[in-house]
Every structure is written in C-alpha cells, then in structure tokens.
Amino acid sequence: MVSVDQSVPEATKDPSGLRRDVGLIGLMWASVGSIIGSGWLYGAHDAAIQAGPSAIISWVIGAIAIVLLALVHAELGGMFPVAGGTARYPHYAFGGLAGMSFGWFSWLQAATVAPIEVEAMIGYAGHWSWAKHFQHADKTLTTSGLLVAVVLMAVFVGVNFFGVRVLAHTNSAATWWKIAVPLGAIFVVAVGNFHPANFHSASFAPFGAKGVLTAISTSGIIFALLGFEQAIQLAGESRNPKRDLPRATLGSVAIGAVIYILLQVVFIAALPHAAFANGWAHLAFKGDSGPWAGLATVVGLGWLAVVLYLDAIISPGGTGLIYTTATSRVSYGLAKNGYAPKIFAKTDARGVPWFGLIMSFVTGVICFLPFPSWHKLVGFITSASVLMYAGAPLAYGVFADKLPRLERPYRLPAGKVISPLSFVVANLIIYWAGWDTLWRLGVAIVLGYLLLGTYAWYATASEAPDAPRLGFRAAQWLPVYLVGMGVISWQGGFGGQGNIPLWWDILLIAVFSIGIYYWARATSSTLEDIERSIDEVVITDAPAH
C-alpha cells in the first residue's frame, strides 16, 4: 500500500464530513477541561472520609493508573486519528462484537457525564437563596431543579451546534479559569493554614490498605482524573493528529494529576482539628456540602469562598460542554462501524453530527430520573469509564503483533509490558468500585446489547450494506471477561460476599486479567480483517501475513 501524509490543512473537511479545525491547545484543553470539572470540588473531601490522610496515596495510585492507560491511548490515537477513537480500537482488533460492546461502554460513559456536571452546578448554586428550592434535603432534584437541569443540557447542546471551532474557543477560555482557580485555592489556603500535624494526629491511614484502595474508585478520584480521552475523541477534527494527539493526551494527564494531588495535600493540612476530632469517617465542618468553599469560609477566607462558588458553576459547565461533544462523536463512530443507524453519522454544514447531539440531550434528561444527584451517579460513571478504557490495552497488544511497521508518531517504550499491566490496573479499579456498583453496570451492559444487537439484527435481516460483521470468534473471550469480573466482585470483599480475602482478590484479578489479555490477543481478527475494518486511515507498510 502507498504511504499517505495524514496531516490536513486548517479548516479543511475530511471525507467523513468532519472539519479539521482543532490544534494542539484546543485538543489539550479539551482533555484538561474534562479532567478539571466537578471532581475537584468534591474529591479531596470524599477521599479524606474514605482513607484519611492516606488519601494522598490513593490519588498517586489513581494518577499512575490513568497515566498507564493514557500512554496506551497516546500511541493508538496517533496511529488511528479518527473521531470517537476509544469506541473503534476494539472494533479494529476484535471485530464487530467487541467493537459494539466497547462502543456502548464508551457512549454510556460519555452520555452520563454532562448530567452529573449539571447536577454539580445546581448543587453548589444552592448556596444562593434563589436556588435553594432546586434540591430536596437529600440533594436530589426537585421539579424546578429538574427544569433548570433540562435548560442547562439544552445550553450545552446549543453551543455544540455552532461547530467544533467555536467549541474549542469557548472551552479554552473556560479551561484557563478552571486551572487558575484550583491553583489559586491551593496557594491561598496553604498560606497560614498548613498544619503538618493533621497528617498523623488521628492516624495517617485509619482504614488501612482497604481504605486507600476503596477511595480510588468510590470517592471520585478516578472520576476526577477521567477526561484525557477527549483529545482522542476529537482526533477526526485535529489539524495535525500525528504530532498533537500524544502531546495533548499525556500533557493533560500531567496537569490534572499535579493539581489534584496538591489539592488533597492542602485540603487535609488546612482542616481545623475539630473537623476530624471524631475520626476521619465523621469528617464534618460548617459548609461541607460545598467542601472547598466551606473550608475557605472556616479558615477566614470568605472572598475565596465566593470565587469557589462561582467556579462551581463554570468548572462543571465546561466539562459538561465538552462531554456533550464527546457523546455525539462516539455515536458518530458507532454509526460509522455499522452498530447504530447511519443518521448518527450525518453532519450539518458546520461538520457537526447533529442527530448525535440531539440524542445526547435526550439521554441526559432521562438520566436525571434514576440518578437525581451527583453522588448517585459518580460511582456508576467511574466503572463505565474504566471498562471503556480497558479495551485499548487489549487492542494495543494485537496491533503490536500484527501491525508492527504501521507509522506511529508516538511509540510507547516497553509497550508490551505496560499494555497488559494497564489492563490489570483497569480491572482492579473496576473491582474496587464494589459489587453494588458493578451489578448496576451489568444491567446497563445488557440494555446496550439489546439496543445495539436489535439494530445489528435488523440491518443483517434487511441485507443493509452497512450491516456489521459481529465476528464472534475474535471476541470469544469477551463474555468470559465480563461475567468473570462480575463473579469475582460478587464473591470479593469490596461490597460482595467477602469470600475472597484482601490481597488474594487482587492476585486473582491480576491472574484473571493476564489470562484474558493473552487469550484476546491469540484469537484476535486476522490482518486482512483488521485492514478491512479500518475505514478512515491508510495502513502503511503492513507486514505480510
């Protein structure tokens, strides 16, 4: 096959109908804007309750886990600069059934983030008297709160209809603010309010290793760090994806991890001792429903509290905006692969997948009904997100074997070691979320198979030209993987039956994950099938099969 230069001039339109308008800063800010959302407003507080001062370790472990996954995504994003990339890598490597499955995980994650950010905005707005009636006492939405939530979702969709260039400029402006405010809070609160004794006076790790591990998945740590994939989802609209995608992906993770770890350190150090005098599990202080703003008030920084309450509108709003974009791009990718009706792949004059945007609005509104508060939705999103990410390491192993000479603008050092390791880490994060979360995720997965499977059956029965080839052989490991994770969670000690002791459960997850990884690699699609399925890039210098 011939070699093709994949760089695209500014403001051009590729054959898919998407405009390639986004540069490095736009890509990086899309990811950073997603990483720094409502998670920073709640994460340090909830992690301290789960793990005490050792929550710092939880953030470090979470950051390492996300970096491992981001490294794998950085190489894949450069290889395949296509819109909705996280939904497509498993499709290329394992055929239709795996592609449909991970595409659903990806869409499920993206579609539920905008609603949770809306809920965060409404929750913090309750500080003002005019917004107090938007939530019940248990922080769930009232009827008027639900109407406001619908309006905010409509605003997210409306901005997206102006096209990706307007979106990038809007998000870039919001992201500068979103970075400046937490960095400013770190500095201002730490000056004069840093008490080193807080890290050991009531025990550094009051709940031991289990508290550290539980906090990673259940207190919002992973949720807070999510978002690096937004640059990958916009790959089809990047001016220079080969150069910019790896830089944007890794740069955004580095920025987010540093900010979040510093936030946790300063939050613990600035607390008055009375706040955790009854133990970290009972951490409480005036205004802790808005933890950082409440802390600022407690330490005498009322002006900073005002800024933080304002940020509680801007930061979640920016994240909700970019995830509305992501949802439409993932459904675009599903349609391009034949798993969803082709109307999801249609774009308007500005290159916007308009039907996907409309459906992201509808889905967001529906999400407010079973998940009417931030805390009810955050654990679910975390598990769906990491399950989505888990498809990339599996695909990486296949491409390393079968496409070794395909051009890679970024090549992951020791990739054949980091790739299976990142898959193990992803599954540990899923497991630590607990059985109560995972059985609910299982129900959502079954629903996805019913919806997408029904369309695939219809397309095949009607002999539609875009009917997907499901490729059961290449995905024979998938049902074993999903059911196996569920069984281990059910029998484990993180909300399950407790029949598998701590550390033994971690070993079991690791062994199980390695087995699935190499099974998937051994039964993956043939080189010919992989080349056939890649419809938006050109394979260069592929090895003979």
The string of DSSP letters for 221-288 reads: HHHHHTTTTHHHHTGGGBSSHHHHHHHHHHHHHHHHHHHHHHHHHHHHHHS-GGGGTT-GGG---TTT
305: its two tokens:
């509290």
Helices (H) and strands (E) in the chain, counts: 21, 2
User: Tokens 């050092």 correspond to what residue?
Assistant: 413
Among residues 145, 153, 147, the alpha carbon closest in space to that of 124 is found at 145
- Between CA 353 and CA 331 the distance in angstroms is 9
For residue range 44-59, what is the model confidence (pLDDT) as tens digits? 998 999 999 999 999 9
Mapped to the 3 state alphabet, what secondary structure does 148-175 carry? HHHHHHHHHHHHHCCCHHHHHHHHHHHH
The answer on pLDDT for 303 being more than 60 is: yes
Name the more confident of 78 and 427. 427
Domains in the chain, ordered, with CATH? Answer: 12-533 (1.20.1740.10)
User: Tokens 């459960």 correspond to what residue?
Assistant: 505
The percent of the chain in helix, strand and coil, each rounded to the nearest 5, is: 70, 0, 30
Q: With residue 12 as reference, give the H or E element that holds it.
A: strand 12-13
Partners of residue 141 on adjacent β-strands? 135
- Residue 539: per-residue pLDDT: 37
For residue range 260-273, what is the model confidence (pLDDT) as tens digits? 999 999 999 999 99
User: What are the φ/ψ torsions at residue 192 (nearest 5 degrees)?
Assistant: 85, -5
Cβ pair 312, 120 in contact under 8 A: yes
For residue range 512-533, what is the model confidence (pLDDT) as tens digits? 999 999 999 999 988 888 887 7
What amino acid occupies position 30?
Answer: A
For residue range 396-420, what is the model confidence (pLDDT) as tens digits? 999 999 998 888 777 888 899 999 9
Cβ pair 115, 369 in contact under 8 A: no
Partners of residue 19 on adjacent β-strands? 13
Range with the largest mean pLDDT of 178-192, 280-294, 498-512: 498-512
Name the more confident of 278 and 313. 278
- Residue 173: per-residue pLDDT: 65
- Residue 287: per-residue pLDDT: 77
For residue range 162-180, what is the model confidence (pLDDT) as tens digits? 755 555 555 556 667 878 8
- Residue 228: per-residue pLDDT: 80
Confidence of residue 289 (pLDDT cuts 50, 70, 90): confident
- Residue 248: per-residue pLDDT: 83
- Residue 144: per-residue pLDDT: 92
Confidence of residue 455 (pLDDT cuts 50, 70, 90): confident
- Between CA 78 and CA 262 the distance in angstroms is 31
H-state helical runs in 337-414: 354-367, 374-389, 391-402
Q: How big is the CA angle at 15 (ends 12 and 19), to the nearest 5 degrees? A: 35
- Residue 87: per-residue pLDDT: 67
Q: Tell which phi-psi region holds residue 279, choosing left (phi > 0), alpha (psi between -120 and 50) or beta.
A: left
Confidence of residue 464 (pLDDT cuts 50, 70, 90): low
pLDDT more than 90, % of the chain: 33
- Residue 506: per-residue pLDDT: 95
For residue 13, give the 3-state DSSP assignment: strand
CB atoms within 10 A of CB 541: 12
Greatest C-alpha distance within the chain: 71
Question: For residue 8, what are the contacts with CB-CB under 8 A and spacing of at least 6?
Answer: 14, 20, 239, 240
The average pLDDT across 312-324 equals: 79
**Residue 295, CA atoms < 13 Å, CB-side half-sphere:** 28
The answer on pLDDT for 454 being more than 50 is: yes
Among residues 530, 529, 415, 523, the alpha carbon closest in space to that of 478 is found at 523
- Between CA 199 and CA 143 the distance in angstroms is 43
Partners of residue 13 on adjacent β-strands? 19
What size, in residues, is the chain?
Answer: 545
- Residue 4: per-residue pLDDT: 31
The answer on pLDDT for 538 being more than 50 is: no
For residue 435, give the 3-state DSSP assignment: helix
Q: How big is the CA angle at 129 (ends 124 and 132), to the nearest 5 degrees? A: 55
What amino acid occupies position 270?
Answer: A
Across all residues in the chain, what is the average pLDDT? 83
Name the more confident of 454 and 118. 118
Cβ pair 319, 331 in contact under 8 A: no
**Residue 25, CA atoms < 13 Å, CB-side half-sphere:** 10
The answer on pLDDT for 465 being more than 70 is: no
The average pLDDT across 413-438 equals: 92
User: Tokens 């509108």 correspond to what residue?
Assistant: 313
Confidence of residue 7 (pLDDT cuts 50, 70, 90): very low
Mapped to the 3 state alphabet, what secondary structure does 18-44 carry? CEECECHHHHHHHHHHHHCCCHHHHHH
The answer on pLDDT for 458 being more than 80 is: no
| CA 16 from centroid of its chain's CA atoms | 25
For residue range 71-88, what is the model confidence (pLDDT) as tens digits? 898 888 778 876 556 767
Q: With residue 529 as reference, give the H or E element that holds it.
A: helix 527-533
CB atoms within 10 A of CB 14: 17
Name the more confident of 94 and 220. 94
- Residue 1: per-residue pLDDT: 33
Cβ pair 185, 343 in contact under 8 A: no
- Between CA 81 and CA 66 the distance in angstroms is 21
Name the more confident of 479 and 220. 479
